[in-house]
Amino acid sequence: MSNICTAPIYKMNSFENLFIEMTAKHCNQKCKCCYIDFNGNKNNKDFISIDSIKESLEDTKDKNLQCIYLCGAEPMTHPDFNQILRLCLKRCNVCIMTNGSFLNEKKIRFLSKVESEGENQIIFGLSLVHYNESENDKMKYRGNYRQNIFALKTLSRYNFNSVLFVQNYYKLSEAEILQKFCEIFEEQEIYNVDVKINCSYPDYDDENYTKPSISTDCMYGRILTQNGVYSCPLLSGDYRGRCGSNFQNFSEVVSAESEFCATCSKNNNTMFTVV
Ligand code: SF4
Ligand code: SF4
């Protein structure tokens, strides 16, 4: 007897979010929980070209982009980071998805000046896996927690808005995570931060669990990489997420067949967006 499995098909509702993979495999850190396969070398100089970004902005000029996400590996290692940021800010708000290690006071002051040159906003996306420093650093790297808290505190002094993505590997309750971060923010005088919890689905291990409505990143955007257009940051470079070579002609439909899709579909929200 044959067993035919069909993956759900997710169609794009609206193209609001343009993710740009500034580098696929260049990062100045090494987290234990990182989903990127660095093949033993995280120093690949695989930076996306400015020309390719310019082309994509032109090709998507009829789309009502709400936010451009500069992501990676670590986007701030790109040698032309400042130029790309200014270019994207001319179009819409820009979210920098970073590990926080480049966000010292001098850099934040500079970014505040860049933001003040135009109308659009810079938002920061940082991430932790636990509100407790040692539990967090166990999954990430030593010093990650302090770097992120310092960055959030300094960003808030400069009136930037940030989103703290919490990858809930420890499967804590959402209420606990929110309460603890609320206390930390109050104690540290950190403002303007939204906490977004990912993979927090109490019934995740229950195969019969179905979420009432599904909202995934591939329904609201695409990611541009050096090698073409893919469905979302989790599937960049993966043939299962391939949507085309550029934005002149790309697929608006995704067959959610990967193991990432299975996890993502059970999450309560888009995983990478800040709004
Ligand atoms: S900082 Fe980000 S890209 Fe770098 S190793 Fe950690 S999770 Fe991976
Ligand atoms: S992993 Fe990516 S392609 Fe798969 S469902 Fe989630 S957002 Fe869509």
Residue-wise pLDDT for 176-228, tens only, equals 999 999 999 999 999 999 999 986 444 445 555 555 567 899 999 999 999 99
Residue 246 has pLDDT above 50, yes or no: yes
* Domains of the chain, start order: 9-266 (3.20.20.70)
Take atom 1 of ligand 2 and give the residue whose Cα is closest: 261
In the prediction, which pLDDT does 40 show? 62
pLDDT band of 6, cuts 50, 70, 90: confident
Per-chain mean pLDDT for the chain:
91
- Pairing assessment for the beta strands 228-230 and 221-225 based on DSSP bridges: antiparallel
Higher-confidence residue of 48 and 270: namely 48
In the prediction, which pLDDT does 43 show? 66
Ligand nearest, relative to CA of residue 165: 1
> Full-prediction pTM beyond 0.85?
yes
Residue 149 has pLDDT above 60, yes or no: yes
Residue 4 has pLDDT above 60, yes or no: no
Ligand nearest, relative to CA of residue 217: 2
Ligand nearest, relative to CA of residue 136: 1
Locate the ligand 1 atom nearest the alpha carbon of residue 28 and give its number: 4
In the prediction, which pLDDT does 96 show? 98
Choose which residue among 35, 213, 234 to substitute to test ligand 2 binding: the one with the highest number of ligand atoms within 8 A of its C-beta: 234
Residue 99 Cβ < 6 Å to ligand 1: yes
In the prediction, which pLDDT does 84 show? 98
pLDDT band of 44, cuts 50, 70, 90: confident
